[in-house]
Structure formats: structure tokens, C-alpha cells
Amino acid sequence: MLKPDAVQNGHAGAILDHILKAGFRVVAMKYTRLSEDTAGKFYAIHRERPFYGELVRCMSSGPIYAAILEKENAVEDFRNLIGATDPAKAAPGTIRQLFAKSIEANAVHGSDSDDNADREGNFFFSEFERF
């Protein structure tokens, strides 16, 4: 996902350029907005964390781009491309170091396992929206 802060700040095109140049293929993509309810379900895994309410508010604050990306070793390579959760700690040249504002408004979301990538892809896309 390209998160609301990245879209609002006009970074969506530049971030997508980084992703494509890193060798990811777009299988599906849409421009949409999460309601608080939907954002809460997407991040339900973090329900008990202290930042959950703020995370849900942040993720529903504006439109996002959701995408399914494909590549060998995609989960690990994408996380290396985006950098650490906190942009202040993200390595130079990573998407979060270049484009993120704060630990909560951190520009992009990446799945943390193949299983969660499947689950999250199914959250946004039907089989007819994948190419």
C-alpha cells in the first residue's frame, strides 16, 4: 500500500517508480480509501498495540494505492526496499528514508510473510482484478 501521507504529499508516482525499477511486477492495483472500520480490520493483528487507534485514524485519513506485487523473494526484497518502520532509522535510499514523515505516517506498507501477502491481496482484490 502507498499510505495516505505519501499520496497527500504527492509522492505516489516517485514511490511507484522506485518499486518498478527494483524489479517488482504489478499484478493488481487500485486507488481507494479505507474507512476506519476497514483500516481496523486490515491492521487487526495490531489491535492490542498502543498505537492501534492512531494507526487506524492515519490509514483512513485519505486515499491510498493498494497493490499486489510479484517478484522472486518479494516479501524480503520489498521490506529492504522500503526500509525500517521508523524513517529516522531507515537506511539511505530506502523509500521510507526518502519519502516518509514519521513512524506512523511512513509512506508504505509491505506484507511481512507470503501468507499475509495472500491474505492482504484477497482483502483488496478479486481474481478478476489480477493480471
Is-contact 105 2, C-beta < 8 A? no
Confirm whether 109 is a catalytic residue: yes
d(C-alpha 61, C-alpha 94), whole Å: 24
Q: Using CB under 5 A, which of 89, 112, 121, 123 touches Mg ion? A: 112
123 binds ligand ATP (CB under 6 A): no
Single out the segment in contact with ligand ATP by CB under 6 A; choices: 4-12, 15-23, 25-33, 102-110: 102-110
Could you give the 3-state DSSP secondary structure of residue 111?
coil
| 101 is a contact residue toward ligand ATP (CB under 6 A) | no
DSSP H helices, 22-128, are 36-42, 52-59, 74-82, 95-99, 114-124
Residues near ligand ATP (CB under 6 A) are 46, 51, 55, 85, 103-104, 106, 109-110, 112
